Structure 1
Amino acid sequence: MSQLDSGAVAKSRVAIIGGGVCGLACAVSLQQAGFEVQVFEATTAYGQVGAGIGLGPNAVRALEAMGILEPLLQRLPQGNHFVKGFLFYCGLRDHQLVYDYPAAPELPNVNMQRAAFLEALSSQLLDLHSINFGKRCMSVTESSTNSGALNIYFTDGTTHIADVVLGADGIKSTIRNFIVNSGASMGGAAVQRSRRAVFSNTVYYRGMVPYSALLAAGFKTPMSDRPACFVGPNKHIVFIAIKPRDLVMVSASSTNYNVPLGTESLPEESTWVDDVPRDELQKDFDGWGPDVSILLGLMPEKVSRWSLRVVHPPLENYTRGRVALLGDAAHGMLPHLGAGAGQGLEDALLLVRLLKRPETNRDNLPAVLQTYSDVRRPRAQAVWEVSDRAGRVYDFHGPHGSTPEGLREDLEDICAPIWHYDLDRDLESAIEMLRANGSFAH
């Protein structure tokens, strides 16, 4: 019997609700370790939802530690794995360079289309029989007849039984309601299903622009493989050329800073993501510099508009019994540093490492998941807060103001606590806690 199989938990049935970035990465790694894993994804197929994804050095290290970085890169288009920093330009007038955020050679990033990432994981690294599309989770209950088992109910009338449920079902998480309500009924109103997900007062317009069209239109701001950002009052625009440099991903952010977070609700009938005319986006950035006008003028006639939600206030716990949250379901944050996916992968890494431990068994599994929560919550919330602060700096609401000098002071090393985090320390801390409370033997 291998070390991975020596713990009884290795025979457990693991259900992962949500087949996004962190859910699939967790599934692949657990499956490779010998676990019986089923992934339930609400969509019927992977498409362009989310458009692009950027993974910082911490996220790249997490993928590497899970043993799926190299196989993943072999299945992705060439040129997506390289050293980058971040370029900040003024969005007004002459677009002067405000700050060049450096990246050291030992800090690689990965940028790609989200669909390519998910397709590579799901179709080539995961057992095809392990992913179930068109399965929207409606509720989870603890079995009254089978001790330790969990019943999962889907909107299509089907059910599934598992020993462990991992909720990677994003900001609209149904599983989060099970955690927050401590087992109260989860069926019913959408407000319950999205509990703790509040409107961030920020909308994001997303789309792709042909690289050649930008050049032909006279776009003068230097374009490279590095992410860049136009900063300005209450708004900013992030853009990056995707290899082989035929498309440019664009995300334009607009925030209302006049109301406190969580106090403004969108109409009940409003959708989280909708398509709006391009001229609505252009009006939002009226008066900005010439390259901004060119960039936004080349966006599709219908632009995807995201009314961003975040988890607020922070959850007191990511787990309950044999159910745990990871990724946006646990700590959905603003995307201003591109750190959300990385936090989900850090969550997945610690979960996989703990579940694989030979000391982990069916009896101590709730304590193991609770320790995962205790370790991850402070880290994820710290990243949530620095992501929020970054957006304020980009939008001229930083502590040192909107002058080039003030912006440089606020931007310097803003990514350092995210990129340089010690992932191994998470596991060490968890093991120390589990030994201290008697769940693991010394």
Structure 2
Amino acid sequence: MSYSKDFTVAICGGGLCGLACAVALSRAGISVTVFEASSFSQEAGAGVGLGPNAVRALKGLGIFDAILARSDQPEPIPRLFGFVSAKDPHDFIFSVSCCEDPVALAIYRPAFLDAVVELLDPSIIQFRKRCTSIDVSENGRHVMHFADSTTHETDLIIGADGVRSVARRFVIGELAKDPLIYPNTAAYRGLVPTEDLRRAGVQTELTGRPLCFVGLDKHMICFPIKGATVINIVVFLSDYDKPPQSELPYPWVESVSQKELKEHCKDWGHDPKIILDHLKNPSKWSIHALDPLQNYVRDKVVLVGDASHAMLPHLGAGAGQGFEDVFVLIQLLTHPRTEKSNLSDVLARYNDVRPPRANDVLRASARAGRLYDSFRSPEQDKTRLQTELSGIWEDVWSYDLHKDVTTSFETLHRLHVF
């Protein structure tokens, strides 16, 4: 088979970012193989929120229409958050309003994966291939080692293997401190039928848009899904008095009692208490994140998505940053003048633009969580919160990704790489 480039690519991880990379590279005629530790039949049915910047990146990658077709939305729509006091009488505090085109899409993770897999030649993906380490061969190529004792040699590795990334360990070096932390934030999740909440007397309108009930050291997100017939509930509890801890023992998800969650939220008002009464079997997720990495590239191993900037979910921005990574990387790798001999220079340009951008969003996401968890009462905090929430998503959603690509190309021309 004839390929458009003289280098091969291996993608470590077949999640959202890994498969998006694979589609774009294969369409460009680049030899690519995806190695995924699990099988899709094992994928959890979590929801993925795609903000305006993510939508633009996916359109630029040419895969958005396939994803939209698998969602339960006929088209992307505005998903602007409202903020409400968790205490009675549930004063409305703020409505997010920003961006010229604030459209978004919510989709189940398995539906996203199914949509993208259909765009790939099945021979490109190898399942149940857990990468355990990466090293460099005598000829300068990179070798992936797998749990089944096999290996794979390639010119370029894209580390899309998530928050517990093996590729990241290679990039930062074996002796470097692990940047993965537990910032003392837990999320209690569950689904509740909308009609059950109406019958129980919830007065707050939950079906029009996502709502955030704000409180002190905790907040609750209510997100309508499945045509607003179900409300996706997530309660975040944080202990800001403790310093971040190192990674907790795995797994990070456990079933907990409803009583445990309700005890944490006993100071909340009428509507949140009814919602928690109907959250019968919550699961508790210990949310992990990364301290900001300064480099996403080492040799010819490059990180995308959570492998490089796993962040707290308080701006709903993690997936979007991953797709921004993929868009920039694909523009660089598929440029007509990119070849094996200049890959290091090309990847260096990715490393110029992506860490500053993604780390800014990572820090902003942590600040947003603290903001949502700082509400004592309308008398004390309503005006302050209105001021601080204003424009909170603007930098996330309105970012000019094409400018970064243009700047990268200009630098490569100036350095006579292109």
Tell me how far apart the structure 2 counterparts of residues 199 and 339 of structure 1 sit (CA, whole Å). Answer: 18
Q: Secondary structure at the match of 2:333?
A: helix
Q: Which residue of 2 aligns with 1:330?
A: 308
Hey, what's the Cα distance between the residues in 1 that align with 2:16 and 2:210? 20
Task: Name the CA shift for 1:87/1:396 in 2 (closer, same or farther; >3 Å).
Answer: same
- Give, in angstroms, the shift of residue 221 of structure 1: 0.8
Write out aligned runs for 1:348-427 (5 A): 348-396=326-374, 403-427=381-405
Compute the displacement of 1:397 (Å): 7.2
Match of 1:168 among 160, 163, 184: 160
SS at match of 2:33: strand
Which segment drifts farther, 245-254 or 58-67? 245-254
Name the CA shift for 1:56/1:46 in 2 (closer, same or farther; >3 Å): farther
Cα 1:225–1:126 change in 2 (3 A) is: farther
Contact 2:7/2:339 (<8 A) preserved: no
Q: C-alpha separation between the residues in 1 aligned to 2:247 and 2:16?
A: 27
In structure 2, C-alpha distance between the alignment counterparts of 1:275 and 1:402, rounded to whole Å:
36
TM-score scaled by length of structure 2? 0.94
- With 152-161 and 354-363 compared, the bigger mean Cα shift is at 152-161
3-state DSSP of counterpart to 2:241: coil
Instruction: Report which stretch shifted further, 290-299 or 76-85.
Output: 76-85
Within the candidate set 31, 36, 39, 2:26 is matched to 31
Structure 2 residue 268 is the aligned partner of structure 1 residue 288: yes
Match of 2:7 in 1: 12
Indicate the SS of the match to 1:403. helix
Residue 427 of structure 1 aligns with an amino acid whose one-letter code is V
Corresponding residue for residue 44 of structure 2: 49
Distance 1:292 1:375, change over 3 A: same
Alignment pair present for 1:143 and 2:121: no
Q: Label 1:382 to 1:159 Cα distance change in 2 as closer, same or farther (>3 A).
A: same
Shift of 1:138: 0.1
Alignment match, 1:217:
200
From 208, 213, 224, give the equivalent of 2:191.
208
Do 1:320 and 1:370's aligned partners in 2 also have CA atoms closer than 8 Å? no
What secondary structure does 2:144 align onto?
strand
Distance 1:403 1:349 in 2: 40
Q: Per-residue CA shift, 1:23-75, capped at 9, x if unaligned?
A: 11111111222122222222222555361111110010000111111122123
CA distance in 1 between partners of 2:236 and 2:337 (Å): 46
User: 1:195, CA displacement in angstroms?
Assistant: 2.1
Deviation, 1:86, is: 0.8
Structure 1: distance between partners of 2:42 and 2:315: 24
Report the Cα distance in structure 2 between the residues aligned to 1:292 and 1:80, rounded to whole angstroms. 31
**Which deviates further from its counterpart, 411-420 or 130-139?**
130-139
Determine the structure 2 residue equivalent to 1:133.
127
Alpha-carbon distance between aligned partners in 2 of 1:416 and 1:401, rounded to the nearest angstrom = 27
Structure 1, unpaired ranges of 5+: 186-191
Q: What one-letter code is carried by the residue in structure 2 that aligns with 1:317?
A: N
Give the number of equivalent residue pairs: 416
Question: Which shifted more, 358-367 or 287-296?
Answer: 287-296
1:112-164 CA distances to partner (integer Å, 9 max, x unpaired)? 22221122112x222222222222210011111xx342111111222222211
Aligned equivalents of 2:203, 2:75: Cα separation in 1: 24
Q: Give the C-alpha shift of residue 385 in structure 1.
A: 1.3
Q: Which runs of 4+ in 1 moved over 3 A?
A: none
Q: Could you tell me how far apart the structure 2 residues matched to 1:355 and 1:101 are?
A: 37
2:270 partner letter: P
**Percent of aligned positions with the same letter in both sequences?**
41
One of 156, 163, 178 as aligned partner of 2:148:
156
User: Which residue in the other structure is 1:96 paired with?
Assistant: 91
CA distance in structure 1 between the partners assigned to 2:379 and 2:198 by the alignment: 32
Q: CA deviation at 1:355?
A: 0.3
Q: CA RMSD, aligned part only?
A: 2.2
- The answer to whether the 8 Å contact 1:139/1:153 transfers is yes
Distance 1:382 1:275, change over 3 A: same
Return the offset for 1:271: 3.0
Letter in 2 for 1:307: S
Mapped partners of 1:438, 1:343: distance in 2: 29
Following the alignment from structure 2 to structure 1, what is the Cα–Cα distance between the partners of residues 100 and 280?
35
Within-5 A mapping of 1:102-121: 102-103=97-98, 106-121=101-116
What amino acid is aligned across from residue 283 of structure 1 in structure 2? E
Report the Cα distance in structure 2 between the residues aligned to 1:35 and 1:164, rounded to whole angstroms: 11
